[in-house]
């Protein structure tokens, strides 16, 4: 027994020792396990993208269970309109292109065949800080034949980086710089934070003379920028970036000043002039031209963004409707240029400075799979018109829940009062539209050209706007000239991202803003001509009138001025007029 | 904890189990070693943010000569005194009178003064005008062991401009070892140990950047790009801020290694000294700032008598910093042929001084 006592003591000592070492080690093991868990959590959403014939490729990441996935434009471009996407579960899915942002190098694709895809959790990339742990996932050098992504770990080396355009199109503004290895094939793949949330899409590196492999400098497009564009990308369109319509430069005393401005630009109409100092843009302080480019580069064309400028020591805050970087049609021309993928499949037997081998062109001749065909519709100016039509219908169906006005094509008579209690009457008849306001009466004939009938004076065309509003309600979205789904956009002092339909009727372009949750029409803007201020009508206080929801309050603005606010008490919406 | 357990085991002495116990004891020691080896703190703690925030305003971007044929016209530096001394790498970028230093807050200093440089360690000190600059204290530098986590800060690829902060990278000290300084492998006069890093730190423009430890203490300076001519790999390394380094920095600040200045107006002596007459042939002057390596020493010449050898790198002539083959030629031309000169050269790890007499010059030469 005594002999065994010795054994036991020694064993106890040894075990205790080991336990004590285990007691220290668990922190490491826990951290390691946490990291493994984070990677396991993030991994299922990572996509390996291949051309239609299963060749070439890059990476991507799923962002919703219905199969929407983000990638780089330069990855999807060579693949064409249909591609194959491999997921870490080892399965290969057909996918179609949805929308593209060639300037920002972003593409949205949709994986088909499931409505329960794994998808990445999205973070607010404005919270990314220099020094944060981060990891990239993707398919560098197309290593994974079973679609299991490669993980590379690193830290955030810089934020708000501006990378000058490569060639004619690509511009990486406000991007995240990382030292995690980013190699050819990582393009389009996700960059995650330490919690495994998506913060960006990897797309570019600084390579220069070092050859086309990682040099410790990779750039990712922020997920916040992509979120700004996401609604537009879902429209199936070719999406454009924005400019101010003005040039800025740095003055000798280090201020960012307007050095040139287009008189046709909205910025000019809002009051911005040559020599004004830009102080803030999109609520970011602006002290350098790069900061301005970064702040501007994350927004799509057409959004209204606050800008603060200083003139004679006085600050002015204005909302600017951003111009497009490209003229209409210009993007399409550029896209039709020579096809040249940026992240090609490297050939193992070549030197590191090998010329870019093109993604083999076989995919074009390979027939589009049936499931992809069912989700693809070709139309000029669109990456995939199928999705635009889908969005138009979705928005319209959501709106229809508030009532069907189809049979109310007769005279509409609406009575109410201004905020000051003065009576107002609007008559929308079949031949003419009439407004009886405290400032006087106005009427316009209803013709095929409403663009010259901008009455009442000072409203920017309230009566044409109301005619178009009635037309939308009574005739639906199909009876417009061209009508399309723009995407999503905020309104001044309102961060809600509204669905926007744009239609032309009787030569007036109308922008309809629908609330993303309620589906209700909240705003109408009508533009009688390009480069003019619209008439803006906000609809609110929706209430039922004979089973249909009707806005009882209208606020009308034109050129930054409030034209009037009306509250209605009586609506007479008549059915088809006798003589029609 | 350790000693307690060991003292307890000490009380038990079952002789028959001595061998077994020995094995267990060794196992325990091994476990103990593992415990020390795995620092539990390292895993999730993120010190990179802290180090970046503490250090960013001491980093500067430097712009100078270059901008052609893959020679970037920019590099990195850091402030090492409140009076505006900037530590950076001695390189062709500084080979101009128009060196611009841009601070982290975007303040721009044109025509920064080159105080001096020591090509042996590739150290250069610039000075910008002003006071109360945020700065590092080189004397507070630390040393890193192999395996230590480090933070590198530099303006690699010139990514940052104006008031944008330099880039931050993370890595581990992979080795602390002398650079293979043989010409033909790594083109560098650098001697002594360097930190070899596992991260892609030494990119274009990164030279003059710094490497810090997890506490934000200085470890070393990122050196110039070095590519092995044997296998074409790029080396990522930092020059340690050891006592020699700090001493050199102090000497430069005190005016010890002032660059040779050429006065174009000065009258040339009628019979100037030439390198050939001293018996020295330099390597071909092929780039903007070819380091003045001796290629050949004529037999029986003043240089041969003094003991100069092919492969020696001339760094000082009469106490003046010699920046290139060109500067050396120009400086020599301004010395009368009868005068003696002193040359400081590096050879291997040694720094050697030679007195060369002009009087021998008639006996040799073509």
Long-range contacts of B273-276 (CB under 8 A, 24+ apart): B273/B332, B273/B333, B273/B335, B273/B336, B273/B337, B273/B339, B273/B341, B273/B358, B273/B361, B274/B332, B274/B333, B274/B337, B275/B328, B275/B329, B275/B332, B276/B365, B276/B366
CB contact under 8 A, A157 and B169: yes
| Cα separation of the two ends of chain A | 114
* Residue to substitute from A3, A134, A155, A205, interface B, most B β-carbons within 10 A: A155
A508/A502 Cα distance (integer angstroms): 10
Out of B34, B35, B170, name the one closest to residue A155 (CB). Answer: B170
Token pair, residue A75, equals 């990855």
Sequence-distant (6+) residues with CB within 8 A of A532 are: A460
CATH value of B41-257 in 2.40.10.120, 2.40.110.10, 3.20.20.70, 1.10.10.10: 2.40.10.120
Chain B segment 68-87 residues within 8 A of A by beta carbon are 70
Which pTM value belongs to this model? 0.83
- B168-201 in b/e burial notation, b at 16+ Cβ within 10 A? bbbbebeebeebebeeeebbbbbbbbbbbbebbb
Catalytically active residues of A, by annotation = 74, 105, 187
Q: Which of A27, A157, A158 sits opposite B40 (nearest CB)?
A: A27
Examine the pLDDT at A191 and tell me if it is beyond 80: yes
pLDDT computed for residue B353 by the predictor: 86
The answer to whether the Cα torsion of B192, B193, B195, B196 is positive or negative is: positive
Q: CB-side exposure of A416: number of CA atoms within 13 Å? A: 20
CATH of A397-573, one of 2.50.20, 3.40.50, 1.10.3470, 3.30.70: 2.50.20
Inter-chain residue contact B164 with A217, CB threshold 8 Å: no
Residue B38: is its pLDDT beyond 50? no
Helical (H) or strand (E) element with A518: none
Reported confidence tier of residue A15, pLDDT bands at 50, 70, 90:
low
Residue with tokens 């990382």: A178
- Which whole-number Å values give the CA distances from B299 to A236, A421, A460, B366, in the listed order? 80, 112, 96, 12
Chain B CA closest to residue A252: B108
Angle between helix B18-37 and B2-11 (nearest 10): 180
**A19 contacts in B (CB within 8 Å)?**
none
Q: Nearest 5 degrees, angle CA B204-CA B207-CA B212? A: 125
Distances (CA, A) of A378 to A68, A96, A198, A232, A374: 19, 12, 31, 17, 12
Give the pLDDT score at B166: 96
The H-assigned helical ranges of A338-461 are 362-365, 370-373, 385-400
Residue A254, chain B, CB below 8 Å: the answer is yes
Closest CA to A499 of A388, A405, A383: A388
List, in order, residues 6 or more apart from B348 with CB less than 8 Å away.
B181, B191
Alpha helical stretches, state H, A476-542 = none
pLDDT digits over A394-434, tens only?
999 999 999 999 999 999 999 999 999 999 999 999 999 99
| Domain ranges (residues) in chain A | 39-240+330-380, 242-324, 397-573
Q: Which two tokens stand for residue B250?
A: 């102090």
- Fold match flag (A39-240+330-380 vs A242-324): no
Q: Residue A576 — very low, low, confident or very high, per pLDDT cuts 50/70/90?
A: confident
Q: Given this model, what pLDDT does residue A17 score?
A: 57
pLDDT digit string (tens) for A32-82? 899 999 999 999 999 999 987 767 789 999 999 999 999 999 899 888 899
Q: CB of A164 within 8 Å of any CB in chain B?
A: no
Query: Would the pLDDT of B359 be above 60?
Result: no
The whole-angstrom separation of Cα A89 and Cα A485 is: 35
Q: DSSP string of A134-180?
A: EEEEE-GGG--TT-PPEEEEEEEEEEEEEEEEETTTEEEEEEEEE-S
Distance separating alpha carbons of residues B296 and B286, to the nearest angstrom? 17
Q: Which residues in chain A (172-231) have CB-CB distances under 8 A to chain B?
A: 177, 179, 194, 206, 208-210, 214-217
Name the DSSP class of B272: B
Q: Which residues pair with A101 in a beta bridge?
A: A106
Q: Residue B92 pLDDT more than 60? A: yes
CATH number of the domain located at residue range(s) A39-240+330-380 in this protein? 2.40.10.120
For B31, the closest of A21, A214, A290 (CB atoms) is: A21
The matching CATH number, chosen from 3.40.1160.10, 2.30.110.10, 2.30.42.10, 1.10.3720.10, for B275-363 is 2.30.42.10
Q: Residue A577 — very low, low, confident or very high, per pLDDT cuts 50/70/90?
A: low
Which positions 115-174 of B are in contact with A (Cβ < 8 Å)? 156-157, 159-170
Query: According to CATH, where is 2.30.42.10 located in chain B?
Result: 275-363
How many helices (H) does chain A have, and how many strands (E)?
A: 10, 31
pLDDT in tens, B95-142: 787 899 999 999 999 989 999 998 778 899 999 999 999 999 999 999
Pairwise pLDDT comparison (B296 vs B4), residue with the higher score:
B296
Structure tokens at B124: 């250069």
Rg (CA), chain A: 29
Contact A160 B42 (CB under 8 A): no
CA distance A90 to chain B (A): 31
Q: What is the mean pLDDT of chain A?
A: 88
Q: What is the mean pLDDT of residues A199-215?
A: 76
Select the residue of B1, B28, B201 nearest A14 (Cβ to Cβ). Answer: B28
Average pLDDT over residues A238-265: 92
**CB A464, CB A453: distance < 8 Å:** yes
Per DSSP, what are the bridge partners of residue A122? A198
Q: Identify the band that residue A342 occupies on the pLDDT scale cut at 50, 70 and 90.
A: very low
Domain A242-324 belongs to what topology?
A: Pdz3 Domain (2.30.42)
> By C-alpha distance, which of B343, B338, B346 is closest to B355?
B343
Q: With an 8 Å Cβ cutoff, are A206 and B157 in contact?
A: yes
Contact call for B43 and A28, based on CB within 8 A = yes
- CB spacing of B48 vs A131 below 8 angstroms: yes
A291-331 pLDDT, tens digit per residue, is: 999 999 999 999 999 999 999 999 999 999 999 988 877 87
- Confidence at residue A344, expressed as pLDDT on a 0 to 100 scale: 39
Residue A422 structure tokens:
């003065």
Q: Could you tell me the pLDDT band of residue A483, with boundaries at 50, 70 and 90?
A: very high
Strand partners, A571: A414
SS3 label, residue A186? coil
Q: Are the beta carbons of A161 and B199 separated by less than 8 Å?
A: no
A547 burial (CB, 10 Å; 0-12 / 13-18 / 19+) is exposed
Question: Is the ipTM, as predicted for this complex, more than 0.90?
Answer: no
Q: Which two tokens stand for residue B291?
A: 């380091």
Query: Among candidates A447, A472, A445, A478, which has minimal Cα distance to A526?
Result: A472
Q: Is A131 on the interface with B (CB under 8 A)?
A: yes
Q: Lowest-pLDDT range, A12-26, A201-215, A380-394?
A: A12-26
Average pLDDT of the residues of chain B:
82
Give B 199-238 residues with CB within 8 A of chain A.
199-201, 203-204, 234
């Amino acid at each position: 027994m005594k002999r065994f006592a010795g054994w036991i003591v020694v064993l106890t000592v040894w075990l205790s020792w080991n336990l004590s070492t285990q007691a220290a080690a668990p922190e490491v093991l826990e951290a390691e396990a946490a990291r493994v868990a984070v990677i396991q959590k993030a991994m299922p959403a990572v996509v390996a993208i291949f051309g239609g014939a299963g060749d070439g490729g890059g990476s991507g990441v799923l962002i919703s269970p219905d199969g929407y996935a983000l990638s780089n434009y330069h990855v999807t471009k060579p693949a064409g309109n249909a591609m194959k996407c491999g997921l870490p579960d080892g399965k290969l899915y057909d996918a179609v292109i949805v929308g593209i942002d060639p300037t920002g190098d972003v593409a949205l694709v949709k994986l088909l065949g499931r409505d329960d895809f794994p998808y990445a959790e999205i973070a607010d990339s404005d919270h990314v800080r220099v020094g944060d742990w981060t990891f990239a996932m993707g398919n560098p050098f197309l290593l994974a034949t079973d679609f299991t992504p490669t993980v590379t770990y690193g830290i955030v080396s810089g934020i708000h980086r501006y990378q000058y355009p490569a060639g004619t199109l690509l511009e990486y503004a406000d991007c995240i710089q990382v030292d995690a290895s980013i190699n050819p094939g990582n393009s389009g793949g996700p960059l995650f934070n330490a919690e495994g949330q998506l913060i960006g899409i990897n797309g570019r590196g600084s390579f220069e003379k070092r050859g086309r492999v990682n040099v410790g400098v990779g750039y990712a497009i922020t997920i916040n920028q992509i979120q700004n564009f996401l609604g537009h990308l879902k429209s199936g369109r070719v999406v454009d970036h924005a400019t101010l319509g003005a040039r800025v430069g740095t003055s000798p005393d280090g201020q960012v000043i307007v050095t040139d401005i287009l008189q046709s630009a909205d910025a000019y109409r809002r009051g911005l002039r040559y020599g004004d100092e830009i102080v803030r843009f999109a609520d970011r302080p602006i002290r350098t031209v790069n900061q301005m480019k970064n702040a501007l580069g994350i927004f799509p064309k057409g959004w209204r963004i606050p800008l603060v400028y200083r003139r004679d020591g006085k600050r002015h805050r204005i909302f600017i409707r951003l111009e497009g970087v490209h003229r209409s049609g210009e993007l399409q021309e550029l896209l039709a240029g020579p096809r040249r993928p940026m992240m090609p499949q490297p050939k193992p037997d070549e030197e590191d400075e090998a010329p870019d081998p093109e993604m083999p062109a076989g995919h074009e001749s390979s027939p589009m799979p049936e499931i992809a065909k069912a989700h693809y519709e070709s139309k000029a100016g669109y990456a995939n018109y199928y999705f635009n039509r889908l969005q138009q219908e979705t928005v319209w169906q959501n709106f229809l829940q508030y009532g069907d006005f189809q049979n109310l094509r007769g005279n509409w008579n609406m009575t109410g009062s201004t905020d000051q209690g003065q009576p107002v009457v609007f008559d929308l008849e079949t031949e003419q539209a009439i407004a009886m306001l405290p400032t006087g009466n106005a009427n316009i004939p209803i013709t095929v050209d409403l663009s010259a009938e901008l009455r009442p004076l000072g409203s920017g065309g309230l009566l044409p706007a109301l005619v178009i509003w009635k037309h939308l309600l009574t005739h639906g979205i199909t009876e417009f000239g061209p009508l399309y789904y723009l995407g999503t956009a905020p309104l001044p002092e309102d961060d809600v991202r509204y669905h926007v339909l744009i239609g032309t009727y009787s030569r007036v372009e109308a922008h309809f803003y629908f609330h993303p949750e309620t589906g209700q029409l909240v705003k109408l803007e009508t533009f009688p001509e390009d480069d003019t201020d619209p008439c803006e009508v906000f609809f609110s206080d929706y209430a039922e009138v004979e089973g249909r929801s009707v806005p009882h309050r209208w606020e009308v603005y034109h050129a930054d001025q409030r034209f009037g606010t009306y509250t209605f008490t009586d609506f007479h919406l008549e059915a088809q007029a006798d003589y029609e | 904890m350790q000693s307690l357990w060991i003292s307890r085991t000490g009380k038990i002495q079952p002789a028959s189990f001595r061998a077994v116990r020995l094995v267990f004891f060794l196992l325990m020691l091994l476990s103990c070693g593992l415990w020390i080896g795995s620092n539990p703190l390292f895993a999730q703690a993120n010190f990179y943010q802290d180090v970046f925030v503490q250090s960013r305003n001491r980093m500067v971007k430097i712009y100078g000569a270059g901008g052609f044929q893959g020679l970037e016209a920019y590099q990195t530096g850091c402030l090492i005194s409140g009076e505006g001394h900037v530590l950076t790498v001695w390189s062709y970028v500084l080979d101009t009178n128009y060196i611009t230093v841009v601070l982290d807050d975007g303040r721009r200093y044109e025509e920064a003064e080159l105080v001096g440089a020591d090509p042996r360690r590739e150290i250069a000190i610039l000075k910008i005008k002003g006071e109360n600059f945020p700065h590092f204290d080189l004397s507070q530098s630390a040393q890193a062991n192999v395996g230590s986590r480090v933070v590198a800060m530099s303006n690699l690829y010139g990514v940052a401009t104006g008031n944008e902060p330099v880039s931050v990278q993370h890595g581990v000290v992979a080795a602390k070892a002398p650079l293979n300084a043989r010409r033909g492998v790594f083109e560098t006069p650098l001697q002594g140990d360097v930190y070899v890093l596992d991260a892609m730190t030494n990119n274009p423009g990164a030279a003059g950047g710094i490497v810090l430890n997890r506490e934000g203490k200085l470890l070393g300076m990122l050196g110039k790009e070095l590519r092995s001519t044997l296998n074409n790999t790029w080396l990522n390394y930092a020059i340690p801020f050891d006592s020699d380094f700090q001493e050199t920095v102090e000497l430069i600040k005190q005016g010890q290694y002032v660059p040779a200045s050429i006065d174009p107006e000065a009258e040339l002596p009628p019979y100037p000294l030439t390198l050939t007459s001293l018996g020295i042939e330099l390597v071909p002057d092929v780039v903007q700032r070819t380091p003045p390596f001796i290629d050949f020493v004529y037999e029986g010449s003043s240089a041969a008598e003094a003991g100069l050898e092919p492969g020696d790198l001339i760094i000082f002539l009469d106490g003046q910093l010699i920046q290139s083959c060109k500067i050396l030629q120009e400086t020599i031309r301004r010395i009368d042929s009868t005068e003696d000169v002193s040359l400081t050269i590096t050879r291997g790890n040694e720094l050697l001084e030679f007195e060369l007499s002009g009087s021998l010059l008639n006996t040799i030469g073509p």
